[in-house]
Amino acid sequence: MKVAFLDRDGTIIEDYEDNLWRSITEPVFINGSIDALKAIRQKGYEIIIITNQYLINEKIITLQQYKEITDKFIKRLLDSGIEILDIFYCPHSKEENCNCMKPKEGMIKMALEKYPEIDLENSFIVGDSLCDVQLGERLGIKTFGIRLDRSKGKTIKIDSIKDIVKYL
């Protein structure tokens, strides 16, 4: 099973400054992201979301708020005919020094434990933050950085998630 490991905020839905997240209750999909996810599925990839949500343990948003946004996120995708396999999130604050906050590999390890059939070599990762591309480079898998200049490694720079379709 080949997997698209996708960041959520700033990659599929709009991201905001930390404090602005307090008042966010609805996911706002970035232009073209739903079509991109559809294309990724049509190319035979399962979709797993891996998202740093340190805002939870840093008490900027509540776990309930995160879950409500996630439910709406999943529903909107299902309404568009897109099933995602799973979502892994890291709720920990930066000070907790957990093993799951990207660029650490914890969420990927959890995914591999839950789905041993994952073919990591033929999977890829997309994100708009340095931590996303660092994780991809650490894993040695195909990595797409959104508007990130990255001369290091094989990371491919794209302007938005919809651009990856031509690379799959």
Nearer to Mg ion, 10 or 106 (CB): 10
Nearer to Mg ion, 1 or 157 (CB): 157
DSSP 126-137: EESSHHHHHHHH
**Of these partners, Zn ion, Mg ion, none, which one is at the site of residue 90 (CB under 5 to 8 Å by kind)?**
Zn ion
Binding mask 85-114 for Zn ion (x = CB under 5 A): -----x-x-----x-xx-------------
Binding segment (CB under 5 A) for Zn ion, from list 24-32, 68-76, 83-91, 132-140: 83-91
DSSP state of 29: B
Residues facing 4 on adjacent strands: 47, 124
Main-chain phi, psi angles of 126, to 5 degrees: -130, 135
Binding mask 113-132 for Mg ion (x = CB under 5 A): ---------------xx---
Do you find a cis peptide bond into 103, omega within 30 degrees of 0? Answer: yes
Nearer to Mg ion, 118 or 127 (CB): 127
DSSP tally for the chain: helices H, then strands E: 5, 6
Nearer to Zn ion, 45 or 54 (CB): 54
Interhelix angle for 63-79 vs 33-42, to 10°? 70
Smallest distance, Zn ion to C-beta of residue 101, A = 4
**Of these partners, Mg ion, Zn ion, none, which one is at the site of residue 51 (CB under 5 to 8 Å by kind)?**
none
Return d(Cα 83, Cα 159) in angstroms, integer: 24
Smallest distance, Mg ion to C-beta of residue 136, A = 13
Q: Does 137 bind Mg ion (CB under 5 A)?
A: no
Coil, strand or helix at 145: strand
Residues facing 122 on adjacent strands: none
Judged by the rule CB under 5 A, the positions of this chain that interact with Mg ion are 7, 9-10, 128-129
